[in-house]
């Protein structure tokens, strides 16, 4: 099927080309791990090397970002240790809830929201 044009523009899309799923790393050309085939382009070692080279180190983060990262890590550890109990969403009661910090200097004081309400909170700053 060919795409018809109207004033030089395509009037409908051509069907997508169905290609072969690549099973080798785009960087080293080595084999991809079985769980990464069709999902990722890089093997685990190439991905790790890329992240080490390009991800900012904790000490290089600006102060607000460092405070946020510390609060999230501290809260996660306390959740794992049982010092913070996971709660349902404060709006809809969903069990699939996420932690929300209103003050990063108080990492154990969190509010619980489902993903939808958490995103809504950050988008509008109100619920």
User: What's the average pLDDT block by block, 10 residues per block, for the chain (127 residues)?
Assistant: 42 53 90 89 93 91 94 96 96 95 94 95 78
DSSP H/E element including 100: strand 97-101
pTM across the whole model? 0.61
Q: Is the dihedral of CA 79, 71, 97, 127 positive or negative?
A: positive
């Amino acid at each position: 099927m060919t795409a018809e044009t109207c004033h030089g523009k395509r009037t409908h899309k051509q069907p997508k080309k169905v290609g072969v799923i690549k099973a080798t790393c785009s960087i080293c050309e080595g084999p991809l791990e079985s769980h990464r085939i069709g999902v990722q382009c890089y093997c685990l070692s190439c991905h790790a090397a890329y992240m080490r080279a390009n991800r900012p180190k904790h000490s290089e983060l600006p102060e607000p970002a460092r405070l946020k990262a510390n609060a999230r890590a501290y809260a996660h550890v306390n959740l794992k240790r049982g010092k913070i109990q996971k709660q349902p969403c404060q709006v809809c009661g969903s069990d699939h809830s996420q932690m929300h910090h209103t003050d990063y200097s108080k990492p154990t004081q969190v509010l619980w929201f489902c993903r939808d309400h958490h995103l809504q909170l950050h988008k509008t700053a109100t619920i």
